[in-house]
Amino acid sequence: MFLNLRLTSIHHLSWLLIAVVTASPAFAEEPVGYNRDVRPILAANCFTCHGFDATAREADLRLDAFEHATAPRKQTAAIVPGEPEASGIIQRITHDDPREVMPPPDTGHVVSDEQVAILKQWIAEGANYEDHWSFITPTRPALPEVSNPEWVQNPIDAFVMAKLDEADLRPSEPANKRTLIRRVSFDLTGLPPTPEEVEAFVADESPDAYERLVDRLLNSPRYGEHMARFWLDAARYADTHGYQYDLSRTMWPWREWVINAYNENMPFDQFTIEQLAGDLLPNATESQKLASGFNRNHPITIEGGIIDQEYITEYVMDRVETTSTVWMGLTMGCARCHDHKFDPVTMDDFYSFYAFFNQVPERGHGSQNQFKPTMQVTPPMQRGRLQELERELAELQGQRDELLQDKSQREQWRTSLANRVKAWQQAEPVSVNSTADTKFKTLDDGSVLANGPAPDKETYEVLLHVEGPVAAVRLEALTHESLPDGSVGRAFNGNFVLTRFEAAAAPMGTEDFTEVAIASASADYEQDGYPVAGAIAGSGGKGWAIDGNTRRENSTAVFTFDEPIEHSEGTTLRLRMVHDWGSTHAIGRFRLSTVEDVPTDVPASTLALLQADPETLSAEQRVDLDTYLLSAFGTDAERDLVQQLYSLRGEYQQVAEQRPTVMIMADHAERKPTYVLEQGIYDGANKDRPVSPRTPDALPAIPDDQPKNRLGLARWLVSDEQPLTARVQVNRLWQQMFGTGIVETAGDFGTQGEWPTHQGLLDWMAVEFVDSGWDVKHMMRTIVMSATYQQSSRIRSEMLDADPRNRLLARGPRHRLGAEVVRDNALAVSGLLSDKMGGPSVYPYQQQGLWEETNNRPGLMEEYVLSKGEDLYRRSLYTFWKRSVLAPTMQAFDAPSREVCSVQRSRTNTPLQALALMNDPQFIEAARFLAERMIHEGEPSFEGRVTRGFKLAVGRRPTSRELDVLRDLYAQQLQRYERDHEAARKTISVGKGARDDDIEPVFHAAWTTIARTILNLDETITKE
């Protein structure tokens, strides 16, 4: 184990040493430029008091615009073009008197001598002001001339080489093929190459071998999963609502939409429009409406006692800040309370942008999983299976229709079956009473309507008189206009919870009641987590509910007795409907029926058809009845055909009915007015400052022929005139591949953001992105096909001196894998990783009790239920994302909580990461399975098995030194486990995966330690 710690610590130490070096890249001297050289100095030291924000401006002096800075003043203008010494700004920043010097000493800001020299030179050259570089529409720059044109493989390399020439650096040699396939596999799919893929690539000497590898990876479905994880950060996607209780929500179908969009290479302009305004598109499809869920991913509260408008305001604020960050790289949120101090964004600009998103008919307080506007959707990854099932069903139905041409025996079969079936008899109550003050009214159709004040809890007691046997009771919960939202329940949301259904029987005319055992219960609809079976006494369930807050339909439940009841003089049936859930969740209108016999072998739908008047049956219903008759009375071949048909129908219905309810965007029918909120407070609406939807004045306006709503905004964001979107997106793609963007501040392209290291390259890529049709795969392919990307990442001494952070790109990218990829890599090399795509989020290994620590309120606490089978080994993209309790290992490796939009993860190296890799059950179990692969797949020798492990984990053979160290470790561990068999059994018993019993435990445990060591290497958790 000491070796394990030592090897891991090398990883942490090496990165910590590099992180200490903070020197900026060395750039060749150039003429002073306002945007690159001067604006950062003024922004850091002057704009807080002398910038765009008029409310914070001192001495009525503004330094961010030429006409203001050069305007005459009592003594001298702040800036006198051509005369630095006569300029007030130079006089004040170089003043000796602490009462006169600027910035004031108490601000902590000091203008350095080097910065003073820059300002002087700039003023001497005429004090030329420029629009901020990112607000200028990019044009395709000419490719620079370079010292080594043979190195250039595509335009990216020309721009990189030009910067290296300026810094007197040279590029690195190409990475070896083992390194390259590992690097590009992680970058395009988030998964390692298999040893077989590595060896095939190494052996392939054709000139297009790498190009074909890239194309294969881009066409892999794993590409979409990998790309989606970056977008989920930006979209602040999570499986919970956030805030205090942080309960579950259902938005995973939107995640599937994102994965599919990347795999299908949806053009980014369409990707943008559908997510920001898919619901507003003409004849919007279900998929487009689902896409608009992007701006419903923000946290939403379910806490009681809140001020509704306060939280509605926060939701809209979140959409403004997220949209401006993700697409524009602007910190517009800074203008919520005052004009932006550094960028040309006023409060009017902010609230005009806010007006685009202030039209959603929503509430500040949601009810658990439902926050209107919502819709039920077929998850995108199920649509393909539905289409496949439809084709198979059509083929079987055609064969069935041929059989149904012969009608000779079916009437006889129908009569025979009908004689077995008795019809439901509606039972009008003799009396209905409540344990509370509820009043009841019997309506013309025999149903009972509850009215009057709705108590918190209550029990209905109903007496029925029945002649003949009673085998079951049917309870219909019916809608009524007097109930909340015209639903079936008395709760505020139209729902009910029938916590218990009880029955007792007595001979008619007596009160000698005997409890009746209920054998089973079924219903035509059940709310998730509230099945009707839970209403049977002793079941331990919560009871029966029907999603009243989203579903406004009649619902039916059938309670079947253990044995039929019959008294010769008739039966008095006493039914109790208990509603103990609270919050007035009682049934509002109901109707009861009884039946003498319930044939267990005849489906309920067939029973209904048999009991109906044959003249009232539709052609489709006749076919359904005849199909059942074939299955009951036909030949073996006919029965087999119908059984196949029923099986497919069942699967189709199961898939089709999995239509979860997700949150989407929608707008009010009439435009909701928007006002500037003074100090950004929800109740600070200044009715004297109304605003209409528009873009900031410093940027192009939305064309007159476009609607002034989210759809017009989305189209504007991807228009030719918009200078930011393409730059921001290609910069984030670059950040994915190289660890740092061309603009390091990926979320801030404004005045306080970093100047691009390669502005020409950034502009070339932005124009190329647009000209390609916003083709994301094209841009990814362009990056990985460049010589820049394919360089070796080995660090040379001159690089550490001139460019320690590799901003000039004299070597290839090398950094630790992201949080999800660290785990996925371990699962992949161990053989545990599931390739199942889509579906609800899963619950892999996690320490018990973590969720209870954050929320222990009765009735609201959610239990972490460990997944089973392959769901334990799904890609980390599908891990349940709880904002308040992020999966600990993911958090240790810098995954964000996603409470807010995140376009740039931190990258730390801490001891916690080493401890997680060594002790987290998922990594120990992965090591056990890797050990099994080493034992079974490697040559039957120590070296052969270690070699197999290295090839699986890092794509190469171990060195002789590594073999020696691991051989010593193996000997030590083998001795340890031979002394302590119980420790060996514990080591190989971690996790739920089946253990290979053919491997002797001591031997297995020792090899598991070797596998744990390999999985803990710096090289294993680094993309090369």
CB 406 within 8 A of CB 621: no
Nearest Cα neighbor of 548 from 480, 494, 476 is 494
- 3 state SS of 691: strand
Residues of the chain with pLDDT under 70: 1-30, 366-370, 420-422, 549, 599-601, 603-605, 607-608, 611-612, 855-861
pLDDT in tens, 934-964: 999 999 999 999 999 999 999 999 999 999 9
What distance in Å separates the CA atoms of residue 871 and residue 874, rounded to the nearest whole number? Answer: 5
Q: Which residue has the tokens 């916690």?
A: 912
Type of residue found at 1020: T
The rounded distance, in Å, linking the Cα atoms of 236 and 233 is: 5
**Residue 625 in contact with residue 387, Cβ under 8 Å?**
no
Residue 433, beta-bridge partner list: 461
Q: 964: how many CB neighbours lie within 10 A of its CB?
A: 11
**C-alpha dihedral sign at 541, 544, 548, 553:** positive
Cβ atoms of 823 and 842 closer than 8 Å: no
| Cβ-contact 548, 530 below 8 angstroms | no
Place of tokens 């300029």: 87
Which two tokens mark 461? 């007691």
Of 61, 83, 57, 56, the C-alpha closest to 72 is 61
What DSSP string runs through 318-341? Answer: HHHHHHIIIII---GGGGSSSS-S
- Residue 628 main-chain phi, psi, to 5 deg: -65, -40
CA distance 521 to 202: 63
Single-letter residue type at 179: T
Please give the pLDDT value at position 9: 36
- Rounded to 10 degrees, the C-alpha dihedral 465/467/473/477 comes to -50
* Three-state SS letters, 359-374: CCCCCCECECCECCCE
Residue type, 377: V
DSSP assigned state of 56: G
Residue range 197-256, pLDDT digits in tens: 999 999 999 999 999 999 999 999 999 999 999 999 999 999 999 988 888 999 999 999
Those residues with Cβ within 8 angstroms of residue 305's Cβ, 6 or more apart along the chain or in another chain: none
Residue 453: exposed, middle, or buried by beta-carbon count in 10 A (0-12, 13-18, 19+)?
exposed
Contact 288, 279 (CB under 8 A): yes
CB 822 within 8 A of CB 1021: yes
Q: How far is the C-alpha of 281 from the C-alpha of 832, rounded, in Å?
A: 43
Cβ–Cβ contacts within 10 Å for residue 868, how many?
A: 10
Q: How far apart are CA 652 and CA 735, in angstroms?
A: 43
Q: How many other β-carbons are positioned within 10 Å of the β-carbon of residue 552?
A: 15
The answer to whether 825 and 1021 have CB atoms below 8 angstroms apart is: yes
Q: What pLDDT sits at residue 530?
A: 87
Three-state DSSP class for 518?
strand
Closest CA to 528 of 651, 658, 654: 658
Query: Helix H segments across 53-112?
Result: 66-69, 88-93
Contacts from 280-285 at CB under 8 Å and sequence distance 24+?
Answer: 280/667, 280/707, 280/709, 280/710, 280/711, 281/711
Measured distance CA(235)–CA(377) in Å, rounded: 20
Closest among 607, 649, 625 to 397, alpha carbons compared? 649
pTM over 0.75: yes
What's phi and psi for 594, nearest 5 deg? -125, 165
Residue 575 · residue 502 · CB < 8 Å: yes
The amino acid that residue 299 corresponds to is P
Mean pLDDT rounded to a whole number for the chain:
90
Residue among 742, 777, 732, 784 nearest 763 (CA) = 742
Say if strands 374-376 and 571-579 run parallel, antiparallel, or are unpaired.
unpaired
